[in-house]
Amino acid sequence: MAIIRDIFKRNKDSKEATMPSKAAKDVPEGLMTKCPNCKEITLTKDLEKNNKVCPKCDHHFKMTAHERISGLLDAGSFESMDDHLKSENPLGFPGYAEKVQADSEKTGLNEAVLTGSGKLQGQDIVLAVMDSHFRMGSMGSVVGEKITRAIETATDRKLPFIIFTASGGARMQEGVLSLMQMAKTSVALKRHSNEGLLFVSVLTHPTTGGVSASFASVGDINIAEPKALIGFAGRRVIEQTVREKLPEDFQTAEFLLDHGQLDAVVHRASMQNTLSTIVRLHTKGAVANG
């Protein structure tokens, strides 16, 4: 999708505050971490304790899938699924297999999404967490398949499905197969929905292109993290098309909330409680007991 190109281009852009590149450059490695937004330097340990939210300016750092899950689910409850699926190189793109391999080693994931089941404050859920450190969270066959299987597991076990999205869109190197993953995840979601089951989509920075234009936008409830970049087309593509300067907050979570595209923007510190409450309110008999 065109959006992928746009995100690449943004790496060179230093003016915009909501760009994925900034966060990407600031994956904490050392003892101290500098906030890309307010430049405050925080002990990495303290930052992690604070759910990777800058204590000074509230900037939400990008999280890995594992970090996200450990901050969300009850300790030790997560059981991952389909870690054995491996991407192929269906169009024979030079260097693609190596790139996937390198990102796999870097992230410890088999692909750009981690899926499984676990307990959210004692309640069973099926969870998928996309990881933008793996090929920018782009969706190819394996990402589509893992998400589809996670949805099906939720359908079979009659459980809520929660996804944290973070993706530049469809993965170009798998061509139209990537595009079709949008339809594949959708047919699975329809079945889940027909069973009267809950689907919550949590859109995190960045959620764009084909992922934004499929499962990310059709939760029974759509939630986003503050300042997350969310959109169909990339800012640069739009600027070139409409030939006008876009507002600073264009395609941020807050912008989408203003335009009626989201149910809520939820701070990371409240995410676990909010999701847990939503799940509880969709569980028969749970409200009376709670």
The residues binding another protein (CB under 8 A) are 1-2, 4-5, 8, 82, 84-88, 90-93, 141-142, 144-145, 148, 170, 172, 174-184, 186-191, 193-194, 209-210, 212-218, 230-234, 237-238, 241-242, 244, 246, 250-251, 259-261
**Between vectors from CA 208 to CA 202 and to CA 214, what angle results, nearest 5°?**
70
Q: Torsion angle, CA of 216/217/220/222, rounded to 10 degrees?
A: 80
Residue 102 marked in a binding site: no
Q: How far is the CB of 197 from another protein (least distance, A)?
A: 14
Burial letters for 262-279: b for 16+ Cβ neighbours within 10 Å, e otherwise?
bbebbebeebbebbbebb
146 is in an annotated binding site: no
- Please say which residue, 51 or 148, places its beta carbon nearer to another protein: 148
Nearest CB to another protein, comparing residues 177 and 269: 177
Distance in angstroms (rounded) separating the CA atoms of residues 146 and 171:
15
Q: How far is the CB of 263 from another protein (least distance, A)?
A: 12
Q: Work out how close the CB of 1 gets to another protein at its nearest, in angstroms, rounded to a whole number.
A: 6
CB of 271 to another protein, least distance (A): 22
Q: Which residues pair with 200 in a beta bridge?
A: 162, 221
Determine if residue 35 is labeled as part of a ligand binding site.
yes
Measured between alpha carbons, how far apart are the two ends of the chain, in Å? 45
**Nearest residue to 55 (alpha-carbon basis) of 68, 63, 45:** 45
DSSP bridge partners of 43: 32
Cβ-based nearer residue to another protein, 24 or 177: 177
Nearer CB in complex with another protein: 246/269: 246
> 90 a known binding residue?
no
Give dist(CA 202, CA 207) in Å, integer. 10
Least Cβ distance, residue 190 to another protein (angstroms): 4
Annotated binding site for Zn(2+): 35, 38, 54, 57
